[in-house]
Amino acid sequence: MSHPTSTSAESPPSPPATVEVNRTVRLVAAYSWRLAVIAAVVVGVVWLTGRLLVVVVPVAVAALLARALSPLSARLRRAGWRPGLAAVTVLAGFLVAFAAVVGAVGVAVAGELGDLGPTLREGLDDVERWIVEDGPFDVSQADVDRWREQAGESLSSFVGSGQGGLASGALVAGEVLVGGLLALVVTFFMLKDGRRFVDGVVGKLRHDRRDVARRSGDRAWDAVGGYLRGAAVLGVVEGITIGLALLLVGGSLVVPVMVVTFLAAFVPIVGAIVAGVIAVLVALVTAGPTSALIVAGVAIVVQQLDNDLLAPVIYGRALQLHPLVVLLGIAAGGSLFGFVGTVFAVPVLAVAINVVDEVRRGRSSDAPVAVPHRH
């Protein structure tokens, strides 16, 4: 006697339904976690840099100083000098020359540099009175006082950013002294053993990556040199031109304004604007409104000529940065590390962009070339 079979009990269970994830969603998810890891690393590096500014800043200063002095050291070494002796001689010569320049400038601005601050405050007071009394805007003196207080607080926060606020004068002086000594020591070893350090680092890499790494290092070194050379030349041109304009309109404090303009050139775009404003305020107080307008016109023309004609030629390939990139870099550096970040933003950007460009070129040159098949 046959028993009926139950087909429903013996049939295999149906597989669970699979959900097809949209390709765009999968790509976004794949990139998201990678970007999150990269962002975490960047945040960690920025945080660690902020905590170690007391070491990072002297090393950065030493790198700039070593780049400026390396041609002299290399010339002495080619003449047969030992690396240590060449480094000590060049560094000592720089310190003597620096002391002489500071002494000469100090004699030239003696009795004037102390008047620069009060003159600028008086110029700001004149501008404030014009805004309140004769300006086209409905602004009261209370509004101006509030804005001035907020600007002072922002400036204090900006200067003390990355250091946990403003420290006492004695602590700042001690940090500057220790940082200066550390920068000199690091500069000496960079001049003496810089090439050996680079060779040692490159030697740790894979053989097929050494050429790209060496070219990237040379490109970064050239970028730093181009930045220093260009900033110094533009600072001299702008300082002399604005100083002559201030002198011809009958203004005073010419030498301090020239010094400030030269130093401000090491912060491209932003430094030139700040130096121009200082020159205009000095002309307003010491020579009158008409002279201030003339100095403002000269400053605008000089800065435009420098940005459009001189800067591309002087900086060359080392600093081919769009003005918007420079402004954003300076803003980012200032917000993260205060005044220190503002000063070092442009050379860091120049080095990073040149290194990335060299690495990209190296990868494209190493890529295999497809050979068409012949039929």
SS3 361: helix
Helix axes 113-129, 270-287, angle to 10 degrees: 80
Q: What is the DSSP letter of 322?
A: -
Do the domain assignments include residue 14?
A: no
Residues 67 and 182 placed together within one structural domain of the fold: yes
Do 235 and 286 lie in one domain? The reply is yes
Instruction: Output the CA angle 263-269-186, nearest 5 degrees.
Output: 45
Query: CA-CA distance, 126 to 120, in Å (whole number)?
Result: 10
pLDDT at 8 over 80: no
| DSSP letter for each residue of 89-122 | HHHHHHHHHHHHHHHHHHHHHTTTHHHHHHHHHH
pLDDT at 59: 92
Contacts of 131 (CB under 8 A, 6+ apart): 137, 139, 144
- Give the H/E segment covering residue 173: helix 169-203
Instruction: Please say which residue of 146, 179, 204 terminates a domain.
Output: 204
Range from 24-28, 191-195, 304-308, 367-371 that averages highest in pLDDT: 191-195
pLDDT band at 126 (very low <50, low <70, confident <90, very high): confident
Q: Are residues 186 and 221 in the same domain?
A: no
The reply to whether 256 and 357 lie within a common domain is yes
| CA atoms of 42 and 108, how far apart (whole Å) | 46
Q: In whole angstroms, what separates CA 326 from the centre of its chain?
A: 8
pLDDT at 372 over 70: no
Please report whether residue 359 resides in a domain: yes
Q: Which residue range is the domain that position 58 belongs to? A: 52-114+168-204
373: left (phi over 0), alpha (psi -120 to 50) or beta: beta
Q: In this structure, are 281 and 335 located in the same domain?
A: yes
**138 vs 79, residue with greater confidence:** 79
CA distance 197 to 189: 10
22, with CB counted inside 10 A (0-12, 13-18, 19+), is exposed
The answer on 255 and 178 residing in a single domain is: no
Report yes or no on 265 lying in a domain.
Answer: yes
Chain-centre distance of CA 244, in angstroms?
Answer: 29
Inter-CA distances, 68 with 65, 188, 210, 259, 268, Å: 5, 12, 26, 20, 18
With respect to residue 47, please indicate whether it lies within any of the assigned structural domains: no
Q: Which of 44, 307, 62 is nearest to 188 (CA)?
A: 62
Structure confidence at residue 297 as a pLDDT band (50, 70, 90): very high
The predicted-structure confidence for 34-49, as pLDDT tens digits, reads as follows 889 998 998 898 889 8
pLDDT at 187: 93
Torsion of CA 91, 93, 99, 104, to 10 degrees: -140
Q: Is position 191 within any domain?
A: yes
Q: How confident is the model at residue 369 (pLDDT cuts 50, 70, 90)?
A: very low
Residues 245 and 183 in one domain: no
Q: Are residues 195 and 56 in the same domain?
A: yes
Q: State whether the Cα torsion 193-194-197-198 is positive or negative.
A: negative
The verdict on residue 237 lying in a domain is: yes
Residue 244 located in a structural domain: yes
List phi, psi (to 5°) of 137: -105, 150
Same domain for 220 and 189, yes or no, is: no
Length of the chain: 375
> Position 343: which residue type?
V
- Same domain flag for 341 and 329: yes
Mean pLDDT score, 105-116? 70
| Number of structural domains the chain divides into | 2
Both 200 and 216 in a single domain? no
Indicate if 183 and 95 belong to the same structural domain. Answer: yes
Q: What per-residue confidence (pLDDT) applies to 371?
A: 45
What are 3's two structure tokens?
A: 């028993």
Sign of the dihedral defined by the CA atoms of residues 179, 181, 185, 190, in that order:
positive
Give me the long-range contacts of 283-291 (CB less than 8 A, separation at least 24): 283/246, 283/249, 283/251, 284/123, 284/126, 284/127, 285/119, 285/122, 285/123, 285/126, 286/119, 286/250, 286/251, 286/252, 286/253, 287/246, 287/249, 287/250, 287/251, 287/252, 290/249, 291/249, 291/250, 291/251
Q: Residue 306, SS3?
A: helix
From 179, 204, 229, the end of a domain falls on 204
Q: Among residues 184, 204, 224, which one ends one of the domains?
A: 204
Asked if 214 and 197 touch (Cβ cutoff 8 Å), the reply is no
Q: For residue 45, is it within any domain?
A: no
Residue whose entry in the numeric block shows the structure tokens 């976690």: 33
Instruction: Please report, for the chain, how many H helices and E strands are present, in that order.
Output: 13, 0
